[in-house]
Amino acid sequence: MFYEAIGEKAIFNAFPLNMWHNLRKLSHCRHPMRTLGIREVRQRYEILKETLDAEGEVILTHHGKPFARVLPIDPPKVRPKWKPHDELRAMMPFQMVPSEVLIAEDREDR
Q: How far apart are the first and last CA of the chain?
A: 79
pTM over the 0.75 mark: no
Please state, as a whole number, how many other Cβ atoms lie within 10 Å of the Cβ of residue 58. Answer: 24
What ranges do the domains of the chain cover? 2-70
Nearest Cα residue to 32 out of 14, 59, 7, 50? 59
Q: What is the mean pLDDT of the chain?
A: 74
> Would you mind telling me the total number of residues written for the chain in this entry?
110
69, 59 in Cβ contact below 8 A?
yes
Rounded to whole angstroms, how far apart are CA atoms 9 and 74? 31
pLDDT by residue (tens digit) across 11-63?
A: 444 444 444 444 454 444 444 568 888 888 889 888 888 888 888 889 999 99
